[in-house]
Amino acid sequence: MDELLQYIITGLTVGMVYALIALGFVFVWKSSGVANLALGQLVLISSWFTYGMLVQVGLPAWIGLVLVIVFAMALGWITERFVLRPLIAQPILSLITITLGLAYLIEGLVNFIWPKSVAALPHIFPQQTIHIGTAVVSMEYLLAAVISLVLFILLSLYFRYNRMGIAMRATADDQLAVQACGIPVTKIFSRSWMFACVLAAIGGVLMSSIGGITYGLVHTGLKAFSVVILGGLDSFLGAVIAGPIIGLAENVGGGYLTPLTWPGVKDVIPFIIIIIVMFLKPYGLFGEERIERI
Amino acid sequence: MDLPSGIRNYTYDRDMAIFRTKTHWTMLLILFVILGTLPLYIDNHWLSVANLIGITIIAATGLNILIGYCGQLSIGHAGFIAVGAYTSAVLTNRLELPFLVGLISAGLLSGFMGVIFGIPSVRVKGFYLAISTIAAQIIIIWIINHWDSVTGGFNGIVVPPAKIAGITFISQGSQFYLIIGIAILVIFFAKNLARTRVGRAFIAIRDNDLAAEVMGINLFRYKLLAFFIGCFLAGIAGSLLAHWIGFMNTENFRLTESILYVGIIIIGGLGSTIGPILGVIFIRLLEKGISFLAPTLESTFDLPAGFTTGIGPMIFGIVIILFLILEPRGLAHRWQLFKASYRLWPFSY
């Protein structure tokens, strides 16, 4: 029973981080209809950038982290301006494949600047462990969960009360109507990409401060896809709820299935969930079912 | 289809022919002669490049039927190639079955896996399908990596050379004939498929699947058929790859490889037979050029250590992005423009 509690707590906290990364995807999808398949690579490059700032340049943690946010925003802006904007109103196939090209480009860039395959971030968060019942949880996990939770709350407030946030929701609803109201849609697109990159960066820092920087971070980004698929592509609430579910399934399932199957089953469970969801309920738990007309 | 002035078709057969004029036939003959004698004047190194191009053409043609004709985005092509490669490897190494059995069953098993992972395509499309094929690839590679007793796991598996009717294809030259022979058959098949009822149904589904269904095209059947054909060819390519390299581990089938295949057909041009061929030649030669130039550049200009590993993916990424922005119809479109201007020369239209 001991390990079950452990798995549940780890799963929930990791799941929150997945949900955070997934939110970035949902932003972009809802506002501009672009499926961002470069999510994993965005997580990867921001983590390496953090490494570069904190370890290679040797900045104090808080300056470094602010710089990471600035970097992520710049990355999002550049991506939207020079990669996605020329393709506005192109077929969905082009929009998906161009993010694949972006993924390739970022991966090359990471290989180019940081030729190592593994690195550890300095400890940004305190290292103590906390005992919850019989489970031992490190502060890092708890802080990751708390930070994610705070960000969820901030984002929902932003979307509820900020003018720009309301404009973004409106764009998601109806692009033409928004344009008619005089809201600059391209600005919304670029804002949503900046959001996506910042969320990916925060997720990346949280994940890599726990597990170090490896190529596995790309898979973290891919696991965020299972969150959006399970939650429904166009639902913020879905992503927030599906994140912990995926985290739980991964950790509890991984914990109990590894002896029965092969090692590494933990990392495949989110993808098995994708396939199952595709068969049973392809639009996810909270996704809007598209009804098409000819 | 445009013909040079003064040439008319008087029969339906002639109008439908792929090669219609004497010039076409002469050029085809010249191409065959060049291909047939290629091993005589290029060395083993370039032959291996040609072999890789041949194998990639087979796989890319399969993916083009799936994406370019039927419009079903698949980003797990390397996974299906892996299924083919390992099927063939296991059958010929562990069970010592003949190569041809391995080749055919590689195609069939790959196609079967494609159909299974393609079932969601009946209800969803676009991004959903992209994700489910990525998931397919990750699951397939995980199974191959851990099913040690059959696939050899991380240690890999040795694959005996291909053997048909007593002839062993072991040198690069002999393998070249095998691979190019199959590649030509595949291209011929793909070209003709596009003109049949099935091919037209695929195109209708790509352009608007609802409209296609209303016209009486059975979506379930045709989408899965597209997945079967696309992945069948991936399996054939995988089998050839396994016998060509002689040793398999999953390093050959990373997710980036799948993305590269999508990039290849984007660069070549979706929905044409010549597209994947041009795309493959372009990408593989670019790859060759980079792997040739990068180490030299790195040592001459004292560039950082990651230059050689990083420059390849960076250039591919940029090429994919630039093609999508500047020339979304790919090299095939350029080729069409060239042919048109050649036919009309010296007039402008």
Q: Which of A23, A18, A15, A16 is nearest to A251 (CA)?
A: A15
Segment B132-174, tens digit of pLDDT: 888 899 899 888 888 877 777 777 787 877 777 777 777 778 8
Asked if residues A87 and A95 have their Cβ atoms less than 8 Å apart, the reply is: yes
Neighbours of B9 (CB within 10 A): 13
Per-residue H/E/C for B106-175: HHHHHHHHHHHHHHHHHCCCCHHHHHHHHHHHHHHHHHHHHCHHHHCHHHCEECCCEEECCEEECCHHHH
| B215 touches A at CB < 8 Å | no
Using 50, 70 and 90 to split pLDDT, how confident is the model at A59? confident
Chain A residues whose CB is inside 8 A of the B307 CB are 112
Residue B222 in domain: yes
**Whether A279 and B119 lie within 8 Å, measured CB to CB:** yes
Instruction: Nearest by CB to A112, from B67, B136, B314: name it.
Output: B314
Residue A51 in domain: yes
Domain around A100: 2-218
Residue A112 in domain: yes
Query: What ipTM does the predicted assembly reach?
Result: 0.86
Over residues B271-282, the mean pLDDT reads 88
**Whether B146 and A104 lie within 8 Å, measured CB to CB:** no
* Angle in degrees, 0-180, between the axes of helices B77-93 and B219-245, rounded to the nearest 10: 50
Q: Which of A80-89, A97-106, A259-268, A271-280 has the lowest mean pLDDT?
A: A259-268
The structure's pTM equals: 0.89
Domain around B267: 44-344
Residue B34 in domain: no
Residue A81 in domain: yes
Using 50, 70 and 90 to split pLDDT, how confident is the model at A294? low
Chain B residues whose CB is inside 8 A of the A294 CB are 208, 210-211, 214
Start-to-end Cα distance in chain B: 15
| A259 touches B at CB < 8 Å | no
Q: How far apart are CA B164 and CA B158, in angstroms?
A: 19
Q: Where are the beta strands (DSSP E) in A69-167?
A: 129-132, 135-138
Residues 64-123, chain A, touching B (beta carbon < 8 A): 83, 86-87, 90, 92-94, 96-98, 100-115
Domain count, chain B: 1
* DSSP string across A155-222: HHHHHHH-HHHHHHHHHHH-HHHHHHTT--HHHHHHHHHHHHHHHHHHHHHHHHHHH-B-THHHHHHH
| B132 touches A at CB < 8 Å | yes
Segment B295-320, tens digit of pLDDT: 787 777 777 777 777 788 888 889 98
Tell me the count of A-B CB pairs closer than 8 A: 160
Residue A290 in domain: no
What's the CATH code of the domain at B70? Answer: 1.10.3470
Query: Which chain A residue's Cα is nearest to B210?
Result: A294
Q: What percent of chain B is predicted at pLDDT more than 70?
A: 97
Residue B108 in domain: yes
Residue A247 in domain: no
Chain B residues whose CB is inside 8 A of the A87 CB are 324-325
Domain count, chain A: 1
Residue A39 in domain: yes
Using 50, 70 and 90 to split pLDDT, how confident is the model at B235? very high
| A276 touches B at CB < 8 Å | no
